[in-house]
Structures are given as C-alpha cells and as structure tokens.
Chains A and B, each alone.
Chain A
Amino acid sequence: SQTIHQWPATLVQPVGSPLSLECTVEGTSNPNLYWYRQAAGRGLQLLFYSVGIGQISSEVPQNLSASRPQDRQFILSSKKLLLSDSGFYLCAWSAFGTDINYGYTFGSGTRLTVV
C-alpha cells in the first residue's frame, strides 16, 4: 500500500533561520508531489508541485523553494525564514493510472511557527 511520511510534525524556528521540511512516499513510483500551506482557519494554498525528479513548478512567489532529489522525495526549504512563513505545511502525492481511487493523499502536516 502507498504511504506518505512528512516530518517534523511541529517546528519552532527564529526569524532568519533556514528551513528544511522533508516528505517521502512509499509504495508507488513516479508520483506527482505537492507542497501546500494552510494559514490558521484558512484554505489550502498550493506552493509547489513536481511531476518528476528535478522538475519543480512554483505557484506563488515567496521566500521558499522546493527540490526533488529522488523520485519519491520532496523537500521544502528556505534560506531565511520570515514571520509570514508560519503556517501548517502539507505534502501530498497523486499518481497516474487507471485506478481513479488513488485520489490525492496528504501527509500529516508540519506546524511551523516562526518567532
């Protein structure tokens, strides 16, 4: 079965510090991978998506970057965090195929607080 792992679950970082959030998927190959951010009480904002190794598309100009060094690994990074980077970050994956019930599967999320 397919699983998605995202860590850490919570993170408190000072302004100006770097960030690295990691997401890995198991049980599938060549998935589409996504990073979302959700502010408190708000909807999901798509930040980045990737259709393959080294292929990253950015949806929102910002202080963040993403990388996909391996097929099932997706990393969200920042060189210098801003207060506005605080939020709930979610990784998700979807896969091509004839089984439409794959849908989109989300990780458990990382609560980032920049102080």
Chain B
Amino acid sequence: LAKTTQPISMDSYEGQEVNITCSHNNIATNDYITWYQQFPSQGPRFIIQGYKTKVTNEVASLFIPADRKSSTLSLPRVSLSDTAVYYCLVAPGYSSASKIIFGSGTRLSIRP
C-alpha cells in the first residue's frame, strides 16, 4: 500500500480557501485517492475520492496532477465547523488488497 505524507497541522481563518496536500510517491496504477474528515469522538467521514485530474463535489475539490504522486484537497470558504483532522488514503478502489492503513492526518484549525 502506498505510504502518504501530510502536514501535521494547518491553521486558517473563516471564509478562506484551504488547500491540504498529500504526497504519495509510490502510488500504484490501480490506486484511488480518498480523503476523510474526522471530528473528535466520531468515525472518519468520506469527503471525496478521485483517480486523476480534478474531482469536485458539494463540499470540496480534489486536484491530482498527471504523475499522481500527490493530491490536494481544497476546501472553499472554510467555517469554524471545518475544524477537524483530515486523512488522505491511497488504496485500490475495488480491491484484492484487504487492509487499509491511515496516515497521521492533518489537524486543521479554523479561527474566526
């Protein structure tokens, strides 16, 4: 499984756009990139998933360059409620690999 590297923490302010980058240099051809959000005392929640180029949904965008060795989660106009830990996960989308291993995540703090 591809190892991921993220910043340990980030700070921003309400209304700003936040970009969190994840490095995954040994990503495999059949790997997808998925981002999760976790609030204290809750399980991680799926945010967005992509394979290449750009994916956008109602809460975030995911940018993946052509070499796929990194990805950037973009949160537009963050609010205080976006304060959470964000995990980048690289794993086969449908899988013969059975286990998933999360990295340490990025602790995002949003200030008024």
CB within 8 Å of B: which residues of A? 32, 34, 36, 42-44, 46, 49, 51, 57, 59, 88, 90, 92, 94, 96-98, 100-101, 103-109, 111
Contacts and interface: CB of A to CB of B under 8 A. Distances in A.
Contacts, number: 61
Query: Majority SS of interface residues in chain B?
Result: loop
B34 to A, nearest CB: 5
Given A43-B104, A96-B94, A107 B41 contact: no
12 contacts: A34-B100, A44-B87, A46-B101, A90-B44, A92-B100, A97-B94, A100-B93, A104-B34, A104-B46, A104-B89, A105-B46, A106-B44
A41 B89 CA distance: 19
Interface of B: 32, 34, 36, 41-46, 49, 51, 87, 89, 93-95, 98-105
A46 B99 contact: yes
B73 to A, nearest CB: 14
Given A97-B94, A98-B94, A100-B32, A106 B43 contact: yes
Given A43-B103, A49-B99, A104-B36, 17 more contacts: A43-B87, A43-B105, A46-B100, A46-B101, A46-B102, A88-B41, A90-B44, A96-B94, A97-B94, A101-B49, A103-B49, A104-B46, A105-B46, A106-B45, A107-B43, A108-B42, A111-B41
